[in-house]
Amino acid sequence: MCGIIGYIGNKDTVSVLLDGLKKLEYRGYDSAGMAIVRGDRIIRKRVKGKITFLEKELKSSPIKGDYGVGHTRWATHGRPSEENAHPHQDCHGDIVVVHNGIIENYVSLKEKLANQGHTFKTETDTEVIPHLIEQHFKGNLEEAVRQAVREMEGAFAVAAVSAKDRGKIVVARQGPPAVIGIGRDEYFISSDINPLLSYTRDVVFLQDREIAVVRPDGVTFKTFSGRSVKKEIEHVAWNPVMIEKGGYKHFMLKEIFEQPQVIRDTFKGRMSLDTGSIYLDEMGIAENDIKRISRAVIIACGTSFHSGLVGKYFIETLARIPVDVEYASEYRYRDFIPDEKALYIFISQSGETADTLAALKAVKKKDLLTLALCNADSSSLTRESKGVLLTHAGPEIGVAATKTFSAQMSVLALFALYTAQIKGVLSREKSIAYIKELQRVPHKLEIILNAAEAVELLALDFLSYSHFLYLGRWVSYPIALEGALKLKEISYVHAEGYPGGEMKHGPIALIDEKMPTMVIAPKDRVFDKVLSNVFEVKARLGTVTAVAFRSDKEIAKSVDKVIRIPDIHELFSPFLTAVPMQLFAYYIAAARGADVDQPRNLAKSVTVE
């Protein structure tokens, strides 16, 4: 996903933009650039590859300017190259634009503009934007932008500057987020709040189909239809320290180690051990509406889909209602049967995933009950859903989701208990027992994290393998999927997660000494069946590494290696089994020298389809 940044104020524009681009790196990118306005000229610098190349370029030929915009590009249309890197310009270089999103009707716009005499230099969809603005430009940049965006279809967060109408940055949003940072006589534009936090925590979130005009003396807002709007300034609680590495080699490792605190923060104020009650007043859905639901449909992507699968076991076991879990990218195209008695739960750490938002839109069209489970307040997902339950994981910089996964499972456990209570299917005593067990999770995670070195040593024995099989049954099946995804996405090693019972239906043909198997094997209701999987693998010369309870004396006799975790109630074992899988993937990726925090081809939030 691309990132846009902009600055107007008294600081050195180039250094503020460079600093901002570095704080956008975690979103994933393959090229970068910036444009600075100085007097009646606009100077552009663009590179293919990392921001350090841009920094070198700027060191060798420095530029000074009054204000400007910058961009990290994650290629959608047109290969990664300097020519395709943003910012893009109009015919004469008088109007320059940075953009996050996709212009779906760019081909027809490009044809029309070419017929009007515009010449194009790149393969990108973005390049039509400065030319479209140029076509409408009659001296006023915001009016030209307003006319241009009304012709554009698709998703875009755009920032534009002009040498012909100086002293302003015009920002327009339809889809991907755009945030305005309000400093002291200085203003910032960004795709998310991270780059702003070292300068200001006062921000304004642009809503869909809104335009901001940012000048050195203030910001004004209007809609695409030209109506002026008044916007609230919000104060962001996150502080800059939260987005630094804090001595860890990678953000991902830091975030793995933050999980005990994240779970404590997510539980805080939402459960009472004395009464056994769960408090989700902030959810914004009335108790009676929850009482009325007869089923739930969880819709998400990637790791959020995996936490949804864990949530299925929590909700079905505790609240005794059926739960379907769907990939958002599939559900959005389905002729699904609308169910007035269902609750549609959308899980997304970013709240900006295009497929998840599109599925939400399709569900809302049928006027159904929706609940967002999200880590980003004021995101598109939280704004568009009826109910909201926030995870309190803080900013997650590593592209691979870790602490947000644990936070999502925490909220799903709370929601399951809450629904069980509302529906009267869980006694006070049982609620108290479950809450007690949940409150022990953070400390048990700390025990696992204190033994992280053992996982690192074990991981180093697996550096030469190129294929892995992850097996889990019942509530451990989602953890097998998640463990495999973690390894794939950060180390580029192939891994497949499977329900253990599926082994004999195909995957067992893969087993040999070159295909290690990871088995999630807490002592639960399906342990004996998992053990039979172990024997099947061993009989075919496969090596088996098991994640197992500390009290389990059996497993070690049958497997090659064991990663021990503290015992826990079988239903809540995912909280503990996920972390060794995260660590295993991390140590293999780090040992392979992979770009752990910004894996190739990946983005922190997939805001384009």
Binding site for ligand AGP (CB under 6 A): 301-304, 348-350, 353, 356, 399-401, 489, 605-606
Closest contact distance (angstroms) between CB of 603 and ligand AGP is: 8
Nearer to ligand AGP among residue 175 and residue 302 (C-beta):
302
Q: Give the C-alpha distances (Å, rounded to integers) separating 575 from 129, 181, 281, 386, 528.
A: 46, 37, 24, 28, 21
Nearer to ligand AGP among residue 31 and residue 379 (C-beta):
379
Nearer to ligand AGP among residue 161 and residue 347 (C-beta):
347
- Catalytic positions, written as ranges: 2, 604
Closest contact distance (angstroms) between CB of 170 and ligand AGP is: 28
Closest contact distance (angstroms) between CB of 112 and ligand AGP is: 35
Q: Which two tokens stand for residue 142?
A: 């915001």
Q: Minimal CA–CA distance to 380: which of 399, 405, 361?
A: 361
Cα(325)–Cα(306) distance, rounded to whole angstroms? 9
Closest contact distance (angstroms) between CB of 301 and ligand AGP is: 4
Contacts 24+ apart (CB under 8 A), 264-269: 264/442, 265/392, 265/393, 265/394, 266/391, 266/392, 266/393, 266/407, 266/410, 266/411, 266/414, 267/410, 267/414, 267/438, 267/439, 268/392
Nearer to ligand AGP among residue 406 and residue 605 (C-beta):
605
DSSP helix/strand/coil, 469: strand
Residue whose CB is nearest to ligand AGP in the complex, by number: 302
Q: Give the C-alpha distances (Å, rounded to integers) separating 232 from 172, 202, 220, 521, 605.
A: 17, 10, 12, 51, 25
Nearer to ligand AGP among residue 84 and residue 356 (C-beta):
356
Closest contact distance (angstroms) between CB of 387 and ligand AGP is: 17
Q: Give the C-alpha distances (Å, rounded to integers) separating 283 from 389, 393, 427.
A: 5, 17, 22
Closest contact distance (angstroms) between CB of 574 and ligand AGP is: 15
Nearer to ligand AGP among residue 489 and residue 570 (C-beta):
489
Cα(405)–Cα(409) distance, rounded to whole angstroms? 6
What are φ and ψ of residue 499, in 5° steps? -70, 135
Query: What's 158's DSSP letter?
Result: E
For residues 380 and 360, is the Cβ–Cβ distance under 8 A? no
For residues 100 and 156, is the Cβ–Cβ distance under 8 A? yes
